Amino acid sequence: MTAANTTLGGSFAAAYDALMWPFERVAIGAWRRRLAARAGGRVLEIGAGTGSQLRWYGAGLEVVALEPDPEMAARARRRAAGAAASVRIVEGSAEALPFPDGSFDTAVATFCLCTVQDPAAALAELRRVLVPGGRLLAIEHVHLSWQPGRRLQSLAAPAWASLAGGCRLDRDTLAAIREAGFDLLEERPHVLGWIVELAASGR
């Protein structure tokens, strides 16, 4: 077991749903529902984790959910079985997507771009596999623009990463999305700008 898939000495996959449950109930579930309502056609979700997003996709969608951690993927597979959409779980990394160019209409990332090792490579891959003008829909936490929040995130980032499966609190994900060549169409900030729901278009 590596630092990237451990939390407090245990399995990150086993702890994840229990830790997230209250937040899913209070807020994140509503954001997931809104994201899923905007997804269309062939959908690729990267870093699907235990499959928390899967229940929100509507019938008629074809979803490929990519996840590198086998324990997470096994949990997502169980959730996929009860989903309204047609869901296929694929084990793999966002930095090297095993799909041809232009094979998806929608790409989804929820709390994932904070954790991938190389966000620029992952975003370049998402642009490659999206059809021209395809949509990236995301819910991600970002590096705050205001001090002292930003400084606090920077200080806490190394310890947090070792507890939370490699998640970086100090990632400037919005800038990375723009730098990858996506046009940000909509940003909806939550929790003082810490978490952002966004829609972007691949050019």
Ligand X SMILES: C[S@@+](CC[C@H](N)C(=O)[O-])C[C@H]1O[C@@H](n2cnc3c(N)ncnc32)[C@H](O)[C@@H]1O
In the complex, the residues that contact ligand X under the rule CB under 6 A are 46-49, 52-53, 66-69, 72, 93-95, 110-112, 115-117, 165, 167
Q: What is the DSSP letter of 15?
A: H
CB of 118 to ligand X, least distance (A): 7
Residue 163, SS3 per DSSP: helix
Residue nearest to ligand X (CB): 49
CB of 65 to ligand X, least distance (A): 9
189 vs 195: CA distance, rounded Å: 6
79 vs 61: CA distance, rounded Å: 16
Q: By C-beta, is 106 or 115 nearer to ligand X? A: 115
Q: By C-beta, is 76 or 144 nearer to ligand X? A: 76
Q: By C-beta, is 179 or 183 nearer to ligand X? A: 179
CB of 195 to ligand X, least distance (A): 11
CB of 192 to ligand X, least distance (A): 20
> Cα–Cα distances in Å, from 126 out to 26, 55, 117, 147?
30, 22, 15, 32
The phi and psi torsions of 133 (rounded to 5 degrees) equal 80, 5
CB of 20 to ligand X, least distance (A): 6
Q: By C-beta, is 105 or 140 nearer to ligand X? A: 140
68 vs 89: CA distance, rounded Å: 10
Q: By C-beta, is 68 or 202 nearer to ligand X? A: 68
CA nearest to 141, candidates 187, 181, 193: 193
